Amino acid sequence: MASRAGSSGASGSVTRFDAQVYATRLRRAAELARVEGLDALLITPGPDLQYLVGSRAQSFERLTCLVIPADGSTASIVVPRLELAGLGESAISELGLNVRDWVDGVNPYRLVTDALPSPARTAVADAMPALHLVPLADQLGAPPILATSVLRELRMIKDIAEIDALRRAGAAIDRVHARMGEFLKVGRTEAEVGAAIGAAIVEEGHTGAEFIIVGSGPHGADPHHEVSDRVIETGDIVVIDIGGPVEPGYNSDSTRTYSMGEPPTEVAERYAVLQRAQEQAVAAARPGVSAESIDNAARSVLVDAGLGEAFVHRTGHGIGISVHEEPYIVAGNTMALVPGMAFSIEPGIYFPGSWGARIEDIVVVTEDGCEPMNTRPHGLTVLPG
Ligand code: ZN
Ligand code: ZN
Ligand code: ZN
């Protein structure tokens, strides 16, 4: 079993943690469900299923559903017989779950409710397709609620093996940024630069690229721009926001901003304010402070410099199996930070029609502060114009 350990620092074929990790997660999920007054959690394929049993099954029209009774009794997996083999990589057999496989013609929603009291108070994974939610709700006799409130308590706080995975992901994406001069060149299109970055994301240890933003010149002012046929020009400011998963499925996400040639003074001055805002937010992250106070730490620096209007989004998002998950670093989120929380700190400034800049690191809250997963220099990196 030790061969499956995810904490070794090795990447490659380790696609999940030891079964013991999932046994603990299932037990805690049941405990939290009980505290919420629920009878069961119903989890279809998606990040929650991956978190709970190490399965990367996909959702299809035939129902696959993990049933976790809140009373702590053994969980069941309802699965089409033809999908059974696909669960082989998960921890399901080692965990000794009840496997309720079904063949076409059987009502799989009955298989779910047969295991529950009636009416049952249930919560469903937020990735459950409406295709399954509606017939399931019909069969349950009582409408389910979202399991997000239960599962975020678990998923939000990373254990040592998860933090190790995030650290490896951070180091891998840092290596891609370190090579940016190879990819980002005047005369290439954003799409060409993006394709080269995508290959490097895999070369440096990710299993794939989850997203690639190459926002050059005016495109940099659109925070969620991807790539286009725009040709990189001398004088462009270019926002590069990239990431993807490393095994066993934890994501990187890092932004650096580049200048094709020496930047004009106004750009350099505004960028310096952004860099101070990002530093202040990282310095503010520690246990006990609220998520919104981290947003405010970055925002107040920009507001004081007259750049508040240019910062049009929240400061960050949690990250793990999903690129965007709890906790959100946003005004109004009074949740107190605790050790093990992992999230981005990514203030940006955007000047529509002209240029934009963003600096993004992932940090993990420690006992007395936070540990950045990304350590590339934060300044505006000047590449040959
Ligand atoms: Zn985003
Ligand atoms: Zn990003
Ligand atoms: Zn991000």
Whether residue 200 is predicted with pLDDT greater than 70 in this model: the reply is: yes
pLDDT value at position 153?
A: 87
Mean pLDDT of the 70-88 span = 95
pLDDT value at position 318?
A: 98
How remote is the CA of residue 379 from the centroid of ligand 3, in Å? 18
* Closest to 92 (Cα-Cα) out of 57, 128, 41, 60: 57
How remote is the CA of residue 258 from the centroid of ligand 3, in Å? 17
Q: What backbone torsions phi and psi does residue 107 show, to the nearest 5 degrees? A: -85, 105
51 φ/ψ sector (left φ>0, alpha ψ -120 to 50, else beta): alpha
Helices 19-35 and 148-155: crossing angle, nearest 10°? 140
Domains of the chain in start order, with CATH, are: 2-155 (3.40.350.10), 157-383 (3.90.230.10)
CA 344 to chain centre: 9
How remote is the CA of residue 151 from the centroid of ligand 2, in Å? 23
Mean pLDDT of the 163-173 span = 98
Alpha-helical (H) ranges within 36-100 are 47-53, 92-95
pLDDT value at position 99?
A: 96
Ligand with the closest atom to the CA of 177: 2
For 23-29, which contacts have Cβ atoms below 8 Å and span 24 or more sequence positions?
A: 23/91, 23/95, 25/51, 25/52, 25/154, 26/52, 26/53, 26/68, 26/75, 26/95, 27/72, 28/154, 29/68, 29/150, 29/151, 29/154
Q: How big is the chain, counted in residues? A: 385
How remote is the CA of residue 317 from the centroid of ligand 3, in Å? 6
Helix, strand, coil percentages in the chain from 3-state DSSP, rounded to 5:
35, 20, 40
pLDDT value at position 127?
A: 92
How remote is the CA of residue 328 from the centroid of ligand 2, in Å? 14
How remote is the CA of residue 85 from the centroid of ligand 2, in Å? 35
How remote is the CA of residue 85 from the centroid of ligand 3, in Å? 35
- Specify whether the CB–CB gap between 364 and 342 falls below 8 A: yes
Q: Helix (H, G, I), strand (E, B), or coil: what is residue 214?
A: strand
Nearest-angstrom CA–CA distance, 244 and 249: 9
Whether residue 7 is predicted with pLDDT greater than 80 in this model: the reply is: no
**Least confident window among 140-144, 195-199, 208-212, 337-341:** 140-144
- Specify whether the CB–CB gap between 367 and 379 falls below 8 A: no
How remote is the CA of residue 319 from the centroid of ligand 1, in Å? 11
How remote is the CA of residue 290 from the centroid of ligand 1, in Å? 21
Mean pLDDT estimate for the chain: 95
Exposure string for 24-33, b = 16+ CB within 10 A, e = fewer:
ebbeebbebb
Confidence of residue 6 (pLDDT cuts 50, 70, 90): very low
How remote is the CA of residue 319 from the centroid of ligand 3, in Å? 8
Whether residue 13 is predicted with pLDDT greater than 70 in this model: the reply is: no
Q: Helix (H, G, I), strand (E, B), or coil: what is residue 349?
A: strand
pLDDT tens-place string over residues 227-267: 999 999 999 999 999 999 999 999 999 999 999 999 999 99
How remote is the CA of residue 2 from the centroid of ligand 3, in Å? 33
pLDDT tens-place string over residues 39-60: 999 999 999 999 999 999 999 9
Helices 190-203 and 160-178: crossing angle, nearest 10°? 130
Mean pLDDT of the 341-364 span = 98
How remote is the CA of residue 191 from the centroid of ligand 3, in Å? 20
How remote is the CA of residue 11 from the centroid of ligand 3, in Å? 23
CA 379 to chain centre: 25
How remote is the CA of residue 360 from the centroid of ligand 3, in Å? 7
Instruction: Give the pair of three-digit tokens for residue 208.
Output: 């794939």
Whether residue 365 is predicted with pLDDT greater than 90 in this model: the reply is: yes
Ion ligand 3, residues whose Cβ is below 5 A away: 253, 344
| Helix (H), strand (E) at residue 191 | helix 190-203
Single pTM value for the model: 0.93
How remote is the CA of residue 328 from the centroid of ligand 3, in Å? 11
Percent of the chain residues past pLDDT 90, beyond the cut: 92
Whether residue 5 is predicted with pLDDT greater than 90 in this model: the reply is: no
Strands 65-69 and 76-80: antiparallel
Ligand with the closest atom to the CA of 213: 2
∠ CA 56-61-65 to the nearest 5 degrees?
Answer: 50
pLDDT tens-place string over residues 302-348: 999 999 999 999 999 999 999 999 999 999 999 999 999 999 999 99
Q: Helix (H, G, I), strand (E, B), or coil: what is residue 102?
A: strand
